[in-house]
């Protein structure tokens, strides 16, 4: 063993050994060495990265957590799999191509090879034989195959979709490319266009997706489950009609004279003072034909983005149509309004306005002077029309007033009574509606899976025959930002109709990249399978994923689509389980300080924290911050997510180079529990490195004590000194805690426990005792094993150098240490040592000792002596089995 720890040497040589031994190659037939029983599989998987260029700290954190989990499980005897792949299709590659004039393919493959190298340097236990890449035809062929199957089954259908159209660049924009209603590149006012696209019927699975959230995802964070539940948004209510006699140009009643609305609060029907329709409602379309003002209003509403989120935050505007509809219970005339707060594609695109008790309606009515009517009451609360109070919408303690025959009813009684009445008039019925929409999978982009469709002038849209798959995406095109370059690529466009053999045109839309990420984790189990989407045996061996790890930003769409896709594959008999991920861990964000300065022209410039110096006051509070280069002032923004835009990212590569992968890993693991945010700290990195140095040094200094002959002998640990007994007691107490923490993924406290353990070992003075070697060998072997999942290189090297593999085998598969219950059965007890009433120390003493002996031990203890500092002891008070107070 070398005297000094060199992370470069250690990491390079251990990584080489693992590479040569193919240490992370997984198989489905992994029998334990020691018995014939097959090992239990454990599949832990990180959300696959987008190959953006180089790893960022968020990646490093994600994969380190994954790696720690996998290595730990492997030592417990599980047959583990940790794969990796690339979410290699998507827009950033196109944007990079526009900027630097290289093809998205080249850009992507270069990034992949760099990031893969970085992952290897991190010492991740990835089985690279399972690697998949979304832009590889070997992979996306099966997106296409599955598309055809879904089309056959009627799960995929074609309809028009509204898209953002940039009239200058003549291209469709993604929502994130629309900034303040303008195209990101051209600055042109974005228009809405209707074009055809393919949809997947996820709504047909809404009920099951919801059911499984409630019953079959016990290993998921509650927060993610609620987000998914809200997204699916099951809503039960009453759909009913207000009658009217509004007629179109041809004197025909519009919609048969019925304005249908959907409400979840039928109990409030007597509070209706107006109705509101969406500006896209057929009635609104008619009104804008006959009324100029309405026409202008509708046009104004149409501008801007198409997303629901944007609509919800927009200022609520309305216009009175001048028409009325009839209230179904009291026959009163009700004003009809148009507003941008009603969504056309939810419910009926029309609502009943109850301004007395719905907050949105309340503000709308106040803005436009529409009457407000109180119809529900809560005892002892007084209603004031001037401002909104939350109890106005109360459903638990309220009862109806001013509601005729429904007066005095509580909410649920009234909902039932109103519903029955409406039904008896044949004006409506109970209805369940969903927020979830079918999944639009067509993208008017180049860098994605080509949709396997051929357009024939005679036969229409014809699916590409299965045996002609894959439809290969040309890799040499360079998008210019003015539309999909496939549209100009004759080689790609030109084809023959599979039905009639006429010259035809290939579809140029590609698939949403969420398709790629909806099933890649299954493909990991058989990435080379070329006659099927997945190898049935292998997928049924490995799936479901035992632990899925990734960012909370994917809590909704990616995870919902992956769950849906799994159910589709099940219904095609490809797999036989319902849910893809048993457990889910969403790791927290990585944060760093951020500094900025407002420049003369008003722009904000952010500075890399590396280049900024903090000036502290006596209490350690920052008083000013300056640029190191020229001492000029910059402002401190606070701690925030590491990001390019704030210039506060820390490049993992520089940390690996300077401090080593193990330091980076242990810092990240130690800094906070996986689910919580992690604050970057340079001192933290230094501290982590110091600890690894200490570990190395301790092991180096004890190499001559290593006693591999006796370590496995039965009954070796008797006749120990008290101190050695205490040490073993501490070792096993810590091991017990560590086991518990590993199981609940509380890895940060595994690190603090390891630090504590090393301290105990360092403080043990029984070097001359004849059992010291055995006890210290045992302690070292346990410490190295509990640290191995976190810092695999240094521990692997030491393990090897101390020849511990000759007793326990290779550290990768070394058996996890068993708890020696005897070591925990201490005939000793922990006593608190106070000096002048202040807690100064804790000490373990034998329960057999009398008080004189205990006093004697305590006043001679190194730590206590430090506090006594040579002063005379006036009195010693001893409370047996508890406490000793020394008065000086």
The least CB distance from residue 464 to Zn ion, in Å, is 13
Nearer to ligand ANZ, 233 or 463 (CB): 233
Among 347, 479, 609, 674, binds ligand ANZ (CB under 6 A): 347
Question: Which residue has 């198409």 as its token pair?
Answer: 306
- To ligand ANZ, the closest distance from the beta carbon of 195 in angstroms equals 24
Residue span binding ligand ANZ (CB under 6 A) among the ranges 206-214, 264-272, 596-604, 771-779? 264-272
From residue 304 to residue 343, the character string flagging contacts with ligand ANZ as x (rule: CB under 6 A) and all else as - is --------------------------------------xx
Which of the stretches 141-149, 151-159, 346-354, 728-736 binds ligand ANZ when contact is defined by CB under 6 A? 346-354
Return the half-sphere exposure (C-beta side, CA atoms, 13 A cut-off) of residue 193: 16
Closer to ligand ANZ at the Cβ: 375 or 845?
Answer: 375
3-state DSSP percent of the chain in helix, strand and coil, to 5: 40, 20, 40
Q: How far is the CB of 314 from ligand ANZ (least distance, A)?
A: 12
- 839 beta partners: 834
Does 346 sit near ligand ANZ (CB under 6 A)? yes
CA dihedral 296, 302, 303, 305 (to 10 degrees): 160
Of the candidates 826, 733, 710, the one whose C-alpha atom is nearest the C-alpha of residue 786 is: 733
Q: Which is nearer to ligand ANZ, 316 or 455 (CB)?
A: 316
Residue 224 touches which of ligand ANZ, Zn ion, none (CB < 5 to 8 A by kind)?
Answer: none
Place of tokens 């008619």: 286
Q: Looking at beta carbons, which residue is closest to ligand ANZ?
A: 235
The correct pick among 142, 165, 262, 362 for binding ligand ANZ (CB under 6 A) is 262
| Contact footprint for Zn ion (CB under 5 A) | 456, 458-459, 497, 499-500
Q: Which does 265 bind (CB under 5 to 8 A by kind): Zn ion, ligand ANZ, none?
A: ligand ANZ
Binding mask 222-241 for ligand ANZ (x = CB under 6 A): -------------x------
Q: Which residues 350-369 are close enough to bind ligand ANZ by CB under 6 A?
A: 351-352, 354, 357-358
Q: Which stretch binds ligand ANZ (CB under 6 A): 260-268, 363-371, 376-384, 693-701?
A: 260-268
263 binds ligand ANZ (CB under 6 A): yes
Q: If binding is defined by CB under 6 A, does position 281 make contact with ligand ANZ?
A: no
Least gap, CB of 447 to Zn ion (angstroms):
29
Strands (E), 292-357: 318-326, 333-339, 350-353
Count CB-CB contacts under 10 A for residue 266. Answer: 23
C-alpha–C-alpha distance, residues 510 and 453, integer Å = 10
Residue 869, number of CB atoms within 10 A of its CB:
8
Residues 6+ apart with CB under 8 A from 640: 591, 592, 594, 646, 648
Within 13 Å, how many C-alpha atoms sit on residue 866's CB side? 5
**How far is it, in rounded angstroms, from Cα 203 to Cα 208?**
10
- Shortest distance, CB of residue 679 to ligand ANZ, whole angstroms? 38
* Contact of residue 499 among Zn ion, ligand ANZ, none (CB under 5-8 Å per partner type): Zn ion
| Closer residue to ligand ANZ, CB minimum distance, 358 or 662 | 358
CB closer to ligand ANZ out of 374 and 828: 374
- Residue 490's region, left for phi above 0, alpha for psi from -120 to 50, else beta, is alpha
Lookup: tokens for 864:
């206590």
CB 255 to ligand ANZ: min, Å: 15
Strand blocks (E) in 152-190:
156-166, 171-173, 178-179, 182-183
CB of 435 to ligand ANZ, least distance (A): 7
CA–CA separation, 873 and 888 (whole Å): 5
Coil, strand or helix: which one is 874?
coil
Please choose, from the candidates 124, 154, 308, 301, the residue with its C-alpha nearest in 3D space to the C-alpha of residue 231: 308
Nearer to ligand ANZ, 265 or 733 (CB): 265
Number of residues that bind ligand ANZ (CB under 6 A): 17
What's the token pair of residue 634? Answer: 């910059």
Which does residue 497 touch among ligand ANZ, Zn ion, none (CB within 5 to 8 A, set by kind)?
A: Zn ion
Determine the Cα–Cα distance for residues 276 and 338; give it in Å rounded to an integer. Answer: 5
Kindly report the CA angle at 614 between 609 and 618, in degrees rounded to 5?
A: 155
The CA-based dihedral angle spanning residues 433, 435, 439, 440, taken in that order and rounded to the nearest 10 degrees = 100
Angle 171-95-455 from CA coordinates, rounded to 5°: 40
Q: Is 139 in the site for ligand ANZ (CB under 6 A)?
A: no
CB of 232 to ligand ANZ, least distance (A): 12
For the bound state, the minimum distance from the C-beta of residue 355 to ligand ANZ, rounded and expressed in Å, comes to 9
Name which of ligand ANZ, Zn ion, none residue 264 binds, using a CB cut-off of 5 to 8 Å depending on partner kind. Answer: ligand ANZ
- Rounded Cα distance between 864 and 867, Å, is 5
For residues 145 and 480, the answer to whether their CB atoms sit within 8 Å is: no
Which token pair is 491?
């080689």
268 is a site residue for ligand ANZ (CB under 6 A)? yes
Alpha helices in 607-675 (DSSP H): 652-659, 661-671
Taking the least distance from each CB to ligand ANZ, the nearer of 329 and 668 is: 329
Smaller CB separation from ligand ANZ, 49 or 349: 349
State the minimum distance, in angstroms, from the CB of residue 236 to ligand ANZ: 8
Q: Which is nearer to Zn ion, 500 or 883 (CB)?
A: 500
Q: How far is the CB of 378 from ligand ANZ (least distance, A)?
A: 14
Beta bridge partners of 597: 605
Rounded-to-10 torsion of CA 783, 784, 790, 794: 140
Task: List the interface residues with ligand ANZ, window 15-44 (CB under 6 A).
Answer: none
| Strand 41-46 with 460-463, pairing | unpaired
Beta-bridged to residue 873, according to DSSP, are none
Q: Should residue 400 be labelled a site residue for ligand ANZ when binding is judged by CB under 6 A?
A: no
Residues 6+ apart with CB under 8 A from 758: 691, 694, 695, 698, 783
Alpha-carbon dihedral angle through residues 608, 611, 617, 619, given to the nearest 10 degrees: 60
Of 111, 162, 130, 106, which Cα lies nearest the Cα of 45?
Answer: 130
In whole angstroms, give the CA distance from residue 294 to residue 307. 23
Contact between 264 and ligand ANZ per CB under 6 A: yes
DSSP 381: -
Closer to ligand ANZ by Cβ: residue 34 or 387: 387
Candidates 131-139, 262-270, 519-527, 857-865: pick the segment binding ligand ANZ (CB under 6 A): 262-270
Closer to ligand ANZ by Cβ: residue 18 or 391 = 391
Which residue lies nearer to ligand ANZ by CB, 85 or 349? 349
User: Is 644 known to sit in a ligand binding site?
Assistant: yes
* Partner that binds at residue 346, options ligand ANZ, Zn ion, none, CB closer than 5 to 8 Å by kind: ligand ANZ
Closer of 501 and 821 to Zn ion (Cβ): 501
556 binds ligand ANZ (CB under 6 A): no
Options 98-106, 257-265, 850-858, 877-885: segment touching ligand ANZ (CB under 6 A): 257-265
Residues that bind ligand ANZ (CB under 6 A): 235, 262-265, 268, 342-343, 346-347, 349, 351-352, 354, 357-358, 393
Q: Which residue ranges are tagged as binding site?
A: 644
Pick out the residues of the known binding site for ATP.
644
């Amino acid at each position: 063993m070398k005297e000094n720890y060199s992370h470069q040497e250690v990491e390079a040589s251990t990584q080489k050994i693992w590479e040569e031994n193919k240490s992370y190659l997984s198989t489905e037939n992994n029998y334990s060495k020691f018995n014939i029983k097959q090992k239990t599989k454990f599949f832990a998987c990180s959300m696959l990265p987008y190959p953006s260029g180089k790893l960022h700290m968020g990646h490093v954190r994600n994969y380190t957590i994954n790696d720690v989990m996998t290595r730990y499980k492997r030592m417990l005897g599980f047959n583990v799999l940790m794969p990796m792949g690339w979410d290699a299709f998507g827009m950033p590659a196109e944007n990079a191509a526009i900027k630097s004039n290289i093809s998205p393919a080249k850009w992507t493959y270069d990034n992949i090879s760099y990031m893969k190298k970085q992952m290897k340097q991190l010492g991740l236990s990835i089985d690279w034989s399972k690697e998949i890449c979304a832009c590889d035809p070997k992979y996306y062929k099966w997106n296409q195959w599955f598309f055809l199957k879904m089309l056959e089954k009627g799960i995929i259908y074609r309809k028009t979709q509204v898209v953002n159209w940039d009239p200058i660049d003549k291209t469709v924009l993604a929502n994130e490319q629309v900034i303040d209603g303008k195209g990101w590149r051209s600055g042109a006012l974005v228009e809405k266009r209707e074009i055809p696209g393919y949809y997947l019927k996820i709504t047909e699975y809404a009920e099951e997706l919801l059911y499984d959230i409630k019953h079959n995802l016990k290993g998921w964070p509650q927060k993610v489950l609620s987000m998914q539940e809200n997204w699916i948004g099951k809503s039960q209510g009453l759909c009913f009609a207000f009658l009217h006699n509004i007629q179109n140009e041809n004197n025909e009643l519009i919609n048969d004279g019925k304005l249908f609305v959907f409400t979840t609060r039928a109990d409030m029907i007597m509070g209706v003072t107006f109705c509101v329709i969406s500006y896209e409602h057929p009635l609104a379309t008619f009104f804008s034909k006959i009324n100029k003002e309405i026409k202008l209003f509708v046009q104004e509403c149409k501008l801007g983005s198409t997303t629901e989120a944007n609509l919800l935050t927009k200022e609520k505007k309305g216009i009175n149509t001048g028409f009325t509809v009839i209230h179904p219970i009291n026959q009163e005339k009700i004003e009809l309004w148009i507003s941008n707060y009603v969504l056309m594609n939810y419910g009926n695109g029309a609502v009943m306005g109850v301004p007395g008790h719905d907050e949105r309606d309340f503000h709308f009515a106040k803005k436009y002077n529409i009457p407000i009517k109180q119809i529900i009451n809560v005892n002892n609360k007084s209603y004031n029309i001037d401002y909104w109070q939350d109890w106005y919408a109360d459903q638990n303690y309220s009862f109806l007033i001013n509601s005729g025959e429904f007066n005095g009813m509580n909410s649920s009684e009234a909902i039932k009574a109103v519903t029955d009445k409406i039904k008896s008039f044949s004006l409506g019925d109970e209805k369940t509606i969903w927020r979830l929409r079918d999944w639009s999978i067509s993208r008017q982009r180049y860098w994605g899976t080509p949709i396997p469709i051929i357009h024939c002038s005679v036969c229409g849209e014809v699916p590409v025959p299965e045996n002609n798959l894959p439809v290969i995406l040309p890799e040499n095109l360079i998008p210019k930002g003015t539309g999909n370059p496939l549209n100009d690529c004759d080689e790609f466009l030109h084809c023959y109709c599979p039905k009639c053999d006429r010259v035809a045109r290939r579809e140029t839309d590609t698939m949403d990249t969420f398709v790629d990420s909806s099933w890649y984790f299954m493909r990991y189990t058989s990435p080379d399978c070329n006659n099927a989407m997945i190898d049935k045996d292998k997928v049924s061996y490995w799936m479901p994923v035992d632990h899925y790890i990734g960012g909370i930003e994917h809590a909704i769409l990616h995870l919902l689509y992956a769950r849906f896709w799994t159910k589709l594959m099940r219904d095609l008999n490809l797999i036989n389980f319902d849910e893809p991920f048993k457990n889910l861990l969403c790791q927290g964000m990585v944060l760093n300080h951020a500094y900025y300065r407002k420049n003369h022209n008003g722009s904000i410039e952010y500075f890399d924290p590396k280049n900024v110096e903090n000036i502290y006051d006596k209490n350690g509070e920052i008083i000013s911050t300056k640029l190191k280069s020229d001492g000029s002032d910059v402002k401190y923004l606070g701690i925030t997510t590491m990001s390019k835009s704030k210039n506060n990212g820390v490049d993992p590569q520089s940390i690996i180079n300077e401090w080593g992968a193990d330091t980076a890993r242990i810092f990240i693991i130690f800094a906070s529990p996986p689910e919580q945010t992690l604050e970057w700290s340079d001192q933290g990195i230094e501290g982590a490195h110091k600890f690894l140095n200490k570990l190395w040094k301790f092991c180096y200094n004890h190499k001559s004590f290593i006693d591999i002959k006796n370590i496995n002998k039965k009954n070796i640990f008797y006749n120990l000194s008290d101190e050695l007994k205490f040490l073993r007691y501490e070792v096993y107490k810590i091991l017990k805690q560590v086991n518990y923490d590993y199981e609940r993924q509380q890895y940060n406290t595994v690190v603090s426990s390891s630090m504590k353990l090393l301290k105990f070992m360092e403080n043990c003075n029984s070097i001359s005792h004849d059992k010291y070697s055995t006890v210290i060998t045992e302690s070292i072997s346990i410490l190295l094993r509990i640290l191995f999942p976190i810092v695999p290189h240094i521990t692997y090297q030491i393990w090897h150098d101390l020849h511990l593999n000759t007793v326990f085998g290779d550290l990768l598969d070394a058996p996890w240490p068993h708890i020696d219950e005897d070591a925990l059965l201490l005939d000793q007890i922990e006593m608190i040592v106070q000096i002048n009433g202040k807690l100064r120390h804790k000490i373990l003493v034998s329960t057999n000792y009398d008080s004189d002996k205990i006093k004697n031990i305590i006043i001679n203890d190194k730590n206590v002596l430090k506090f006594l500092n040579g002063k005379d002891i006036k009195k010693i008070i001893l409370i047996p089995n508890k406490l000793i107070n020394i008065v000086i």
